[in-house]
Chain A
């Protein structure tokens, strides 16, 4: 506003300023690089994958338009049909179980770290540590912990303690593999919840707890009527974010099982990778898979954008 009073704009500029806003020239120059990245690396690839999903594009070959053939193959075809539907179920089980478990353990972690005790800062640093470990290394380490020979840590401990007399194939048994992978996802993901919920707990005014205590509320009532309502927004944001990233998780599954055994851990990103890059190199079919999973992510993204923009813009 001060600039306006200081130097009145020339009449020719006046029109543009009214049409595009006071600082439109500088504004657009400054956001240009970001807009270029958003258009070139997000929007264009997005529309390209819609186009590719209607073609028979393969790596290193030109694309031919084939209409809905990819979608037919994926939804009803012999080669991909059952695999796709199994992958939908696996992705839902994987994401749902992991997210719910992370909320519970992360909440416990945050409540614990919110209490006052000696060495609390050290304990916070320790609890949040897995968050800083590259997920690739997390996967590598757990693959070794789960090792199915007597050398694997879990099998060693179970046998030493006499809890098991056979070697358990944590990642090799089709009935067990998904749960083993989920456990690692939870291990790596809990610190994020712990941090977010701890930040939330710190923002709840202490007076609310004191008032509740004076009114005779016990620990559980205080938690139910003070803590939970105070955390509602941050829980919603954390769960939505984590659902997107968990469903999208590739690294851990790639290292631990590669989607096997018998496709038991073939979640959506793994399936896309197997179809598009690793095995058949069918980019068109893989694009169609991403388009079919798009609605799931779209709902989450719309909900989150609303939450995140409500406070900021």
Chain B
């Protein structure tokens, strides 16, 4: 009897527990869904309104949809030029950090030489040093090198945050590949370079994808260095360009949000493509958030 009463009590508490669980899950879903979507809704809704709907007679939901804001941003401002600059900088920086990062990571994880530990340590520390500590003196360095106000200057400076990160992440991946694979190839008469290209590189493709996406997004989103080092309009990346548009002509909010929506598209595409790998990549290398 006693055991029977206890089991029924237990099943009742289990059932009520499940109900509580359901309620909590639904509430959490609503909370996190709204948390993300409401601000995004506001950006996109504003970008589709005309100026009257935005300022004079404000409504939460657009009453008439217009794409004119997008047209103005794309064809009546320098926005496309800024986008082109951003792409250039991000592509060059990413390519350089991929190349230098993977060869250095290979050396640190596979070769034996004095100073290896020191370099690894320096890479981690550099990855953690925040840009706000360095931008003043970097400005001096770039001035000495006559690289201020040039895209090439940004490409160089962005290496200071993409390269340590790429190298660090690649070290982790190289370590996860058993070195026996490579030693077997060496015994079979491959030299190191051929072993690297034919054995190791194909195995690190997923890592290379993650690293590419991260360094591309980081360069794409960078703002402080671009703000400080770039002054002429023709050299502005999209982040500084956007700010220039706003501060220069006091851009109406509808246009500003159209520009913001357009600026969202590239990182969003990258995010949608790479979302599967992002969580594991983050856990492996701890990316800047």
Question: Which residues of A approach B to under 8 Å, CB–CB?
Answer: 1-3, 6, 19-24, 26-28, 30-31, 33-35, 37-38, 40-42, 44-46, 48-49, 52, 57, 108-109, 112, 115, 117, 123-137, 140-142, 144-145, 147, 149-151, 153, 156-157, 160, 187, 189-193, 195-196, 198-200, 219, 234, 237-238, 241-242, 244-245, 247-248, 250-251, 254-255, 268-269, 272-273, 276-277, 283, 286-287, 290, 293-294, 297, 300-301, 304-305, 308-309, 312-313
Contact = CB atoms under 8 A, between A and B. Distances in A.
Contact of A293 (B133, B159, B286): B133
A183 B217 CA distance: 24
Nearest to A102: B289
B279 A199 contact: yes
B289 A241 contact: yes
Contacts of A273: 135, 224, 228
B99 to A, nearest CB: 8
B120 A199 contact: no
A110 B28 CA distance: 11
A34 B243 contact: no
B202 interface: no
A125 B111 CA distance: 39
Given A297-B130, A309-B124, A19 B114 contact: yes
10 contacts: A35-B119, A117-B25, A123-B33, A133-B267, A134-B223, A134-B263, A196-B282, A241-B128, A242-B289, A250-B131
Contacts of A52: 136-137, 140
B23 to A, nearest CB: 13
B42 interface: yes
A-B pairs, top 10 by smallest CB distance, nearest first, are A192-B289, A27-B113, A248-B130, A199-B283, A269-B132, A132-B271, A30-B107, A23-B111, A21-B113, A41-B160
Overall SS of chain B's interface: helix
Contacts of B160: 37, 41-42
B126 to A, nearest CB: 5
A148 B175 CA distance: 54
Given A128-B271, A140-B256, A193-B289, 7 more contacts: A21-B113, A24-B114, A41-B141, A131-B271, A153-B60, A255-B243, A277-B228
Overall SS of chain A's interface: helix
Nearest to A57: B140
B204 interface: no
A48 B137 contact: yes
B79 interface: no
Contacts of A42: 126, 129, 134, 160
A155 B279 CA distance: 36
Interface string B25-36: 100110011011
A187 B289 CA distance: 12
